[in-house]
Structure 1
Amino acid sequence: MSEDRQPLLSPSSENDIENDYIQYKIEKGDINKLSNKKPNLFKRINDYLKKSISKKTATILIFIVLYILFGVVNSLLLKKVMNSFSNYGFFLNQLTNYGYVPIFGSVVAYKLLFTNDIPKDTRSFPQFKFLIMGALDAVTGYFVVIGGIKTSGPLQQLLNQSVIPFTMLTSFIFLKERYSLIQLGGALIIIGGVVVSLIPSFTGNNSTGNMLFYNFFYLISMIPYAFSNVYKVIGFSTVEDMDVWYLQYFDSLYQSLVGTVLFPINNWLPPPSDMKFNQVIPQLETGAKCLFGINTLVEQFNSTSNTLLPTSCNYDDNTTCDNCHGAWIIVLVYMTVNVVYNVFILLVLKHAGATVFSIANTLRLPLTNIAFSFKFVMGSDASPFSGLSVVGLFIILFGLGGYRVGSMIKQKKASPDSATDVVTTPKVFPGQFGEIFAPVVLRKNIPPKTQAHLRNSFFGKLGISVPESKLRNQNSIYGDQA
């Protein structure tokens, strides 16, 4: 093609114009010669992320990452707190119950006095429902704290996953919920993983301080927790927007009151959580001393043979010596992190949804177990991996994946036009030990629509308006249901 017939903006001319412009800018000193080179890999990735990820998506990703991070730290600190009060389980249970009452109470008082965030219908919510929820959480917390003292951190995380089959069972009984074969298969695999994880405790072949009795004691905590999950769905299904701080205050208040009267159980427990009735007040006193860093149970030696006395701590595996140094700092940090962690639970649920939250919760499990093995994180409380614990972890993760997939398939197949509306509650009620998410489905029967409603709908589609007085006379779209 001759030069006079070549298009003005042909590819070659465009490149020439661009090169001439760059050379002109270089001569003027506006840019240097290096500007003609491609940007480095980091800058290209950064530019790509800016173009492909919106501000909303970036915010959600930050919430998810922070939720996982604070969830891992929350689990680590909880185990550190348990180890600091290994001889004072009952005191620790009271501390973790009553400790949150003033925190939530101060927020609720501020809201009631200076804001309108808590409406009248929320304030008139029946207190007996809070009482039932608090009682279930009190039993859960009691078994978690007492059983967790002699249950290693990684095993705690694995046993926590049993809340899913327990919740499925209680939903089957009380909510008439039915599950797909994929969901049932996932739940059975989770149970198998839990059993595999407990094998070292059965055989006594572990060096992590696990005791079979207290491992089962911790596992039992998932039963009242499952009942609590189901009751929260039933009890709060009529509330559109329950204020979280208001709920948490009354939950922690009733949880504390009920938890106080559970001390008779300690009378029949083996060491180190055994406590006779006449030892309740002395343990509260020594537990308070431990909170402020004062050790009561220390090694005692025979003055002549310089050997440990049979009544001394560390004489056998049942009673360990106090390790109360800096206990109040660990407790304070744990409670602070726990409150922040619960905030991120709500943020992820609100902005990302229950499905993303459950996936993030699944990812948190292996990360937490890995963190428990790091000595620079846990110090002397580090729990090294064992072959069976790793196998149990992979089995449980496989089961969790199957359960999540089955739940998503079932939710996708659910028809919104069916006579039974499937309502999956996205509400999670955070607790002092964090939340182990197990979605509960509430089914509500929708009565058939009346002929009057169908006729008015048809008229509306034709553009014929029905007088408001006529609609009111028909009571409701579902007919008279009084």
Structure 2
Amino acid sequence: MGALDGFSGILQVFAATYLGGSILILLGQAAIPISMVISSIWLHTQYTNSQYFGAGIVTFGLIIVLGPNLSLAASNLQAIDFLDLETSNSFAWALVMILSCIPMCLSSVYKEKHLGEAEMDAIYLNGWVAIYQFIICLPLTIPIAMLGSPSVSPSELPSNLWNGFRCYLGHNSIYEEPYPDDCSRAPVYVTIYLFFNILYNILIIFILKFGSSNILYLAMTIMVPLGNVAFTFPFMPGHEPLASKDIFGLILIMLGLFVYRFFGELISKTMRSTRAQLFQECFDDEDILKRRTGEHSSELTEALIASSEPNERDIRVVQI
């Protein structure tokens, strides 16, 4: 789990460096079909028509929210050099973001499978996953630093890490142009991020424990319109006003999640209740018929006795 989460995080960090926020959120939704495929292969999960319908509603909501971004990205693809990995909207980095969903979904399905088989505390599990993720990713910092832009040689890596830690404490290390440090608010921002990231990972484990990886990634599609809402705040870089498509898209995504998670169960409960009611009505009709048949037989028996003196065999025949 630590290895899969680590590889996924590394790929996403690279992609986030060269892709815009809305495109990142869009490409992250590739986890929905990837998760459904992995679950069907590994866990032999079978999906109902209502689940497919709910996933379709979620997809439609995503298209509404990100439609303008998709058209803009399609127009920009004509001017992109696919071999230039430093291009901000590079097709290669978009593929990297999509590929990062594979180890992420594998880790989630693995957690779903084994959390269902063993009782384990979510905080305890998240702590050990984080430890192994750190151990596995630490040696990868050398090749990753060399692949970055600007690249960092192995000899410069210790000082680079130290300066990064000093920035977290609020101390600047680079004063020259064009990109001087501005670490005055770094302790607040990084600490807030770490707090919410830990809370986020713990909640993910709870969702996987009591739900499924498919529900997790469908629920995470709410980030698409909410991310656009976050970019309306004045302190966010590139902020812009909230559009009506974001509100409508959020409503559709919530509706799709409801259909995927609860619509099939509601239909099943309604059908069971209807069948039970029909059976009860049939039993009531049968009881009424028996009572009416019994009363009619008694009247016939009394009439025969009054009109004649039948033998016992005749009375039994009439009663039957």
> TM tier, shorter chain?
0.5 to 0.7
Aligned to 1:167: 35
Q: Which string of whole-angstrom CA distances, capped at 9 and with x for unpartnered residues, describes residues 381-429 of structure 1?
A: 2433699xx86996687467436414433455679xxxxxxxxxxxxxx
1:26 corresponds to:
none
Relative to total residues, which structure has the larger helix share, 1 or 2? 2
Q: 2:144 aligns with which of 266, 279, 295?
A: 266
How large is the RMSD of aligned CA atoms in angstroms? Answer: 4.5
Percent identical pairs in the alignment equals: 25
| Paired position in structure 2 for 1:224 | 103
Between the aligned partners of 1:281 and 1:266, the Cα distance in structure 2 is 14
2:184 aligned counterpart, secondary structure: coil
Match of 2:53 in 1: 182
Q: Is the 8 A contact 1:151 1:218 kept in 2?
A: no
The 1:393/1:326 distance shift into structure 2, 3 A limit, reads same
Partner of 1:243: 121
| Residue 187 of structure 2 is aligned to residue 328 of structure 1 | yes
Aligned 8 A contact 1:134 1:258 in 2: yes
Aligned 8 A contact 1:186 1:398 in 2? yes
Per-residue deviation, 1:186: 4.4
Aligned with 1:367 (options 209, 226, 240): 226
2:155 aligned with 1:283, yes or no? Answer: no
- Mark the runs of 5 or more structure 2 residues left unpaired by the alignment: 80-86, 270-320
Cα distance in structure 2, aligned partners of 1:267 and 1:349? 33
**Does the residue aligned with 1:324 lie in a helix, a strand or coil?**
coil
Residue 182 of structure 1 deviates from its aligned partner by 1.7
Amino acid at match of 2:113: I
2:287 is the counterpart of 1:408: no
* Residue 383 (structure 1) aligned with residue 236 (structure 2): no
When residues 358 and 249 of structure 1 are mapped into structure 2, their CA distance, relative to the original with a 3 A threshold, is closer
Does the CA contact (< 8 Å) of 2:15 and 2:94 recur in 1? yes
Structure-to-structure mapping, 1:4-403, within 5 angstroms: 133-179=1-47, 180=49, 181-183=52-54, 185-186=56-57, 189=60, 197-201=69-73, 203=76, 211-212=89-90, 213-239=92-118, 241-263=119-141, 265-266=143-144, 269=147, 271-272=149-150, 274-300=151-177, 313=178, 320-340=179-199, 365-375=224-234, 377-378=235-236, 381-384=237-240, 398=252, 401-402=255-256
Q: What one-letter code is carried by the residue in structure 2 that aligns with 1:384?
A: E
Question: 1:166, 1:184 → 2: CA distance?
Answer: 13
Runs of 5+ unmatched residues, structure 1: 1-132, 301-312, 314-319, 416-482
CA distance in 2, matches of 1:348, 1:232: 10
From the superposition, tell whether residues 349 and 231 of structure 1 become closer, same or farther in structure 2 (CA, over 3 Å): closer
**Is the contact made by 1:184 and 1:403 (CA closer than 8 Å) also made in structure 2?**
yes
SS in 2 for 1:374: coil
Q: Distance in 1 between matches of 2:241 and 2:187?
A: 29
* Matched length: 255
Cα distance between partner residues in 2 of 1:201 and 1:298: 35
Counterpart residue number, 1:49: none
Please report the TM-score for the alignment, with normalisation by the length of structure 2: 0.60
Q: Distance in 2 between matches of 1:350 and 1:171?
A: 15
Residues 246/139 of structure 1: CA separation in 2 closer, same or farther (3 Å cut): same
Deviation at 1:285, TM superposition (A): 2.7
Deviation, structure 1 residue 189: 4.3
Q: Distance in 1 between matches of 2:10 and 2:212?
A: 31
Q: Is the 8 A contact 2:19 2:94 kept in 1?
A: yes
| Greater Cα radius of gyration, structure 1 or 2 | 2
Query: Could you report, residue by residue, the CA deviation over 1:197-225 in whole angstroms, capped at 9, with x for unpaired residues?
Result: 355455179xxx95435454344322211
Letter in 1 for 2:239: S
Task: Return the alpha-carbon distance in structure 1 between the equivalents of residues 225 and 247 of structure 2.
Answer: 7
